[in-house]
Amino acid sequence: MAATSGGSSRKRTSAPRAELGASAPLYIDGDDVIPGEVIVTLKADAADAMTASVPIHPGGRGVSMADSLGVSGVDAVLASLGAYDITRLAPPSQGIARSAMALDGVPEPEESILGRSFRVRIDAKVAPDKAAAELDALDEVEVAEPNRWREASVIPDDPQFGAQWGLTKINAPDAWDVTKGSASVVVAVIDSGVDLDHPELAPLLVPGFDMVDLGPNPTPNPGWRFEGDFAGRDAIPEDEVGHGTHVAGTIAAVSDNAVGVAGVGWQTRIMPIKALTRVVRISDGRVSGTGSSADVAAAIRYAADNGAHVINMSLGSPSSTSVEASAVAYAVSKGVVVVAAMGNDGSSSPSFPAAYPDVIAVAAIQSNESRAAFSQTGPHIDISAPGVGILSTYLAGGLATMAGTSMASPHVAGVAALVKAVKPSLTATEIGDILRSTAKPLRDVAGDPVPNDRYGWGLVDAAAAVLKARGPIVIKPTITVKLRTPVVACVPRTITLPECGTIKTVLPLQCKKIKSIHIACPVTTTVTKVPTTVTGPGPGPQPGGADPFGVEQGDYEAGFAAGYAAAIEELQSGGGDAYGEGLFDE
């Protein structure tokens, strides 16, 4: 259970649902650069030679920041840029041990560059692009780049739409006949946090973290202001936006309780990691969730190192960063499935983190299975899911309806968690392959290829995915096999069929000599006679087991090859006995 509000002096903020949205982005004209910040990654040998003590990011309140790295050539340039508040994005690597959750066939985790990457705040008068270029030219620096805004991928929606059509559309009810999820499977929701006291979510939460660290005086673009808890990190990922709470409720919610909503998983656990804070557009009070790529990268690393099996990121912006890409690769190498929203500007431009390699990028569809007009397109799209009129959990224990690829992504993350619950040994790559290969193909024009740039492989199908993950369905019906006349005697055998494969049973017979025999039943069968063994006298008392009537006594073996789900279900529903018919000598 995650920490709740007791012990926190944080004021809980609840914006009206209708105000939540990102129709006008925090960045302007595609410029998602955070003013006054750069990210510097040192080469390994330079990082090993550092003489300065740099605090680990998250720093949190009361942690003294550094103003140099202890690498002389780099420090001289940092000083010229007015550098201050330098923090390390993750602990320095000491070699990565294989974790207890490691799986056979999964490669060792790759070493993330986050341990030698630093967020550097610089003079606000210096353009971050210029500062990054100057630092990137140094021999000791592997890469330097501006820090980037990341925003919630949500748009305003009609609050009257209401019903949870998305769960039916992805065949979640049929999937629940197989699994309702597992308490041992954890989905990290990297977002604006979660309403930690929400009755539909609280029983499903595991401890998370508030990763937002924008400093005491962050500089948004003109027309916006930050509100709430954004200055430093702590262990209370309370949602002040509503976006993360909505996303979490789609992935998992306390279900079958006659109140609220259902999630894709009923028992799946949620790890809330806050990477987006509350930002308000001054002109009309519209609320959005906004954070930095550095904080998102740290959140990914935290999730991968603290037991998450799936990560959902319903956020993004147009530019990539090396630290974020490295964090994604690190998580995937540890077997974590990473799912992200495609973005909402309706263009074919990539949005990150969705466009990184190995991320399952999710587009949004409407209830008629056509692409939502806002959903971005492109060759990196993997799969589609419901993203318009999605009802889910919201602030103050409530519910709200929203739209966006933000709402589509958690449908897919929830299905990934169901697949993991069915077969825990599956790797991240295998789960992604299952989701894509079982999707319902979608296209705008007959004959369009699948996958395509608008829908990817198509609509995620929860039932098909969990059935493929599990393999042949575990139903073991029984049939009774016996022979018709002219059998003199037959001992019926009740046979329990396996989920697949072949089962053999011995059917003791007493009859005239048999030329051939076939057992008629709704599955493929073969029957062979085993070496004759005398099991007793024939009809009537005969001395020494002799049979003057020519009855050949012995055991006959029937091999029943049980088929997959359809054949087994047919047999189960048909019921009754299966009878053998044979050719007999007179």
Sign, CA dihedral 26-31-35-38, equals positive
- 355 within 8 A of 380, measured Cβ to Cβ: yes
Angstrom distance (rounded) from CA 326 to CA 115: 11
Residues 6+ apart with CB under 8 A from 426: 103, 419, 420, 434, 469
Of the candidates 57, 198, 243, 246, the residue annotated as catalytic is: 243
Residues 6+ apart with CB under 8 A from 182: 267, 268, 417, 420, 421, 424
Q: CA triplet 216, 218, 219: central angle to 5 degrees?
A: 150
- 333 within 8 A of 110, measured Cβ to Cβ: yes
DSSP H helices in 456-547 = 462-470
Told to judge if 406 belongs to the known catalytic residues of this protein, a careful annotator would answer yes
Angstrom distance (rounded) from CA 259 to CA 556: 59
Q: How many residues does the chain have?
A: 586
Angstrom distance (rounded) from CA 314 to CA 375: 13
Angstrom distance (rounded) from CA 449 to CA 39: 40
Biggest distance spanned by C-alpha atoms of the chain: 113
- 188 within 8 A of 310, measured Cβ to Cβ: yes
Angstrom distance (rounded) from CA 97 to CA 488: 70
In the structure encoding, which two tokens stand for residue 36, read together?
A: 């006054």
- 214 within 8 A of 277, measured Cβ to Cβ: yes
The helix or strand, by DSSP H or E, that contains position 515, with its residue range, turns out to be: strand 514-520
Please count the other Cβ atoms lying within 10 Å of the Cβ belonging to residue 437: 11
Angstrom distance (rounded) from CA 415 to CA 181: 9
Angstrom distance (rounded) from CA 120 to CA 558: 75
- 71 within 8 A of 46, measured Cβ to Cβ: yes
Told to judge if 191 belongs to the known catalytic residues of this protein, a careful annotator would answer yes
- 59 within 8 A of 124, measured Cβ to Cβ: no
- 355 within 8 A of 313, measured Cβ to Cβ: no
In the structure encoding, which two tokens stand for residue 161, read together?
A: 């739409």
CA distances from 162 to 198, 395, 418, 536 (A): 19, 17, 25, 73
Of the candidates 406, 411, 461, 547, the residue annotated as catalytic is: 406
Of the candidates 32, 85, 191, 195, the residue annotated as catalytic is: 191
In the structure encoding, which two tokens stand for residue 186, read together?
A: 């954890």
Please count the other Cβ atoms lying within 10 Å of the Cβ belonging to residue 213: 27
Catalytic residues: 191, 243, 406
